[in-house]
Structure 1
Amino acid sequence: MTTQFLTYAERQRAGNVLERLAQSIDLTDRQYQDAIARYEAVATFLGDPNGNLAIYNPHLVPQGSFRIGVVVRPEHEECEFDVDTTCWLYINLPASQYRIKQLIADRFKSNATYERMLKEKHRCWRLGYSEQTRFHLDVVPAVPDSYEWLLKLGVPDKYAKHAIKITDNQRYNYHHHTVDWPGSNPEGYALWFLDVMKVQADHIRNQLSAELKLSLDKIPEYKVRTPLQRAIQLMKRHRDQLYGDHDLKPISIIITTLAARAYMDVIKRHQGGLFYDIVIAIVEQMVDHIESRDNVRWIANPVNPTENFADKWQTDPRLAAKFHEWHGKFLALVNGEEITKSFDRTPESLKLSFGSNTVKRAFEPNNVPSSVGQLDRLRNTAAIIASGVAHTDKNAQINNQSIGVKNQEHRFHFNE
């Protein structure tokens, strides 16, 4: 690894720089709380026993970056962030996508406030909230899909059973009664992603619970962030700063999937490690998970091996070139002196890479972490547990030196 030329103190300092940048990229507590409150209000409204959807047992499920904890706060306060959701209706196919989508529209239009906020998109209905809140909530209509074929491909039942069919008003058969709908499985993907970092996330949550003297159920999910989540947030912000709305910029699902696959390897090899070490290893190794299948570059959907997230790379080679261009620049940045060396004045290159407002928030005096190295300590311990060689000594401290009693193998899974 390139970190071998840095001292421990330099790597710890670099990790603190990245950590503070990532924290300033994340939503604020208030933004999370507002978004969750509005999501829950919409879920309650759609599921009202007196509403037109009640007979279809509607179920609203968060998806995307908000679901897996990698949502990125807009660089400029006047910009909106989005919360993606899926509304399951338990209706047997064949039916028309149009009908399902209109059922949800009719429910929203029965409320004057939601009707004013409602806007149709190709695959969803969007609720635009006030300028003060500055976010919108997308609701994708969906029905359950059969998933036996996924089981035959080796996809675990706990992921496969969340397969769905979704609506898309640009499909040729949008108004037809048919089973030929677009397929998806955002919840299965989310569960896979959360399982990848399960051990570390649980340990960080337990430690926060102990140190803050709060019960586990009082620790919000958005307070627990693993190196994987932080690395993805940093990568997404850097990409957005570099390319803006450019049509060829790397898509989030590719960045997220490659980073998660790399993280699985990194955690196996690291029996502890600084935040900086883990982030660097993720970035370095993520490109190793781009497969070649019959000379076709392939980034498989982990909950549908037949789906290639990089399928458009074949028809437009510029997409692959742009991904590798971005990856090289991000790797050079986190390896560079702007991150690894101490500075009295924030380097301008950081502002160009992550945004002036983000950097300002990260390095304002009141944003300095109250306990430098605390998260590294939590993550070091979590990585030891994940390695399978953890022991607990007589002082209840976890180590990888075979001192004390060997810990039981981790046997629990997220949201089963």
Structure 2
Amino acid sequence: MRRDLLNIRQRRSFSDGSSTRFFALVDAMAHQQMPTITQLDALQSSYESTGKFLSEREEFGGLLTQIHSHGSRHLGTLVKPADESRDGFDIDLIARFDPRASERYGDPNGPSRLLSQLNKALADYANAHGLTLQRHDRCVTLRYAGGMCADIAPVIDNPMVSIVYGETHGLIPDKVLCSFESTNPRGYSKFFNEVASIAALFPAMEAATFAADSVRKAEIVPLPSARDVFDRLLCRFVQVIKLHRNFKFGPHSGDVDLKPSSVFITTLATLAYKDQAPNPHNSPLELLLDIVETMPSMFYRERLAAGNEEWHLPNPAAPRSNLAGEMNTPVRQEAFTRWIDLLFSDIEAILIAIEAREGMHEVVACVAQGFGPRSARAVRDALFAEQQSTRLSGKANFLTAAATPVAVASRQHNFFGS
């Protein structure tokens, strides 16, 4: 088994001003992805309602101890679904069970029985609230009328003192494997938050302070403050990377989905940030580009006898779980490698347009080409608002080639889809 070597690219040089302008556009794209107050209220209400309902169900024999969130909303890396016909957001929930549940569900049919009981309970909830339900191999999905989805997965506490974050280690049932698999959503959140708290070094810039998150403990653990988790630099980086992935791969269609999972690319970006953030950088832009370059070196590649590669990315909080498991086909591996190259080149294209002062139209067109029409609209609106402000103040604006906002029609790029 070996660690992949870093792919060194010929990198263009960009001015500090271009870096600053680029991250203003990143902020516009990221803020467009954040839920509105109304959507946050809907997320919170649905989360609490679902949690309260499950906590009162009798079929779990009092072994269900806690409902808590995890995933992108919890971490602050949330982006809207790739399917633009959906305006809602997705939330991931864990139904946490006492360790004694391992005895109750420890027989060969136990994993399937636990998922069936969760499915039955949520079917009652769905029928009572006019929702639709979909069962998966490890979770159950509730689909709400407003476009929001909630994935609820059962996890049995199974502490392991021999691993980092082992006190929150758990077991998740897998219907296909007919077994319980290693997982640790709470430990993963701790891992991510610890890395996100690392202050990036920008000696030439004023030190920035990023919010630290705080999560209270309760039977139904409240969602963390949106401001606390969405405003961290690592979260911005992950959002940008996920936005690019969503657009380039497009909505899933057909039998094969080549899109790398969110947890796979979030873990790679987090490990790359942990590796690169302590090193001095001239700007956040330089750090972002280093992270993109470093991501392919953050997992292990084992050369097999047949000439193929098997990728390994141990879950930082549950090492027995390989987060790269779904990437182990040649077509998925090739798609990932091509996508990383596109991510780097599309960021550079935007920077070239900014550096050349090509104007609003060209900048927005580059954003549309790399990140899609939704992001392009957010950037266009932000640039137009700034242009109006600078015009009123009589100051010059860096966008000199376009005087009015331009709607950019962008063809969906399903480079990796069927």
Report if TM-score (shorter chain) is over 0.5. Answer: yes
Q: Matched residue of 1:328: which SS?
A: helix
- One-letter identity of the residue aligned with 1:359: A
Residues 3, 11 of structure 1: 8 Å contact kept: no
Unaligned runs of 5+ in 2: 1-8, 201-207, 213-222, 305-309, 391-418
Write the distance in 2 (CA, Å) between the matches of 1:367 and 1:45: 45
Structure 2 residue aligned with 1:118: 133
Asked if the contact 2:198/2:274 (under 8 Å) is kept, the reply is no
Alignment of 1:7-406 (within 5 A): 7-48=15-56, 51-53=58-60, 55-74=62-81, 76-90=84-98, 91-93=101-103, 94-95=106-107, 96-111=110-125, 112-114=127-129, 116-130=131-145, 133-148=146-161, 151=162, 155-156=163-164, 159-171=165-177, 173=178, 180-200=179-199, 203-205=209-211, 220-221=226-227, 224-244=230-250, 245=252, 247-270=257-280, 274-293=283-302, 296-314=310-328, 316-336=329-349, 337-338=352-353, 340-342=355-357, 343-345=359-361, 346-365=363-382
What CA distance in whole angstroms lies between the structure 2 residues aligned with 1:223 and 1:255? 18
2: CA distance, partners of 1:188 / 1:36? 22
Q: 1:395 maps to which residue?
A: none
Identity, % of aligned positions: 20
Distance 1:108 1:309 in 2: 28
Structure 1 pair 191/370, CA: closer, same or farther in 2 (3 Å)? farther
Q: CA deviation at 1:339?
A: 5.5
Indicate the structure with greater helix content: 1
- C-alpha displacement at 1:2, in angstroms? 7.2
State the AA in 2 paired with 1:118.
L
Which residue identity is paired with 1:308? Answer: N
User: 1-side partners of 2:71 and 2:271: how far apart?
Assistant: 17
- 1:326 Cα deviation from its structure 2 partner: 0.3
Amino acid at match of 1:128: R
Does structure 2 retain, via aligned residues, the 8 Å contact 1:14–1:341? no
For the residue of structure 1 that corresponds to 2:366, the secondary structure is helix
- 8 Å CA contact retained: 2:182, 2:320: no
Q: Which letter does structure 1 place at the counterpart of 2:172?
A: I
Could you say if the C-alpha distance between residues 362 and 347 of structure 1 is closer, same or farther in structure 2, counting changes exceeding 3 Å? Answer: closer
CA 1:108–1:74 in 2, change beyond 3 Å: closer, same or farther?
Answer: closer
Please give the alpha-carbon distance, in whole angstroms, between the structure 1 residues aligned to 2:385 and 2:10.
Answer: 29
Give the Cα separation in 2 of the matches to 1:268 and 1:361. Answer: 32
Q: CA deviation at 1:192?
A: 0.6
In the TM superposition, what whole-angstrom CA distance separates every residue of 1:27-78 from its partner, at most 9, and x where no partner exists?
3343233212211221122223x75446114311212222211121135253
Q: How many residues align?
A: 343
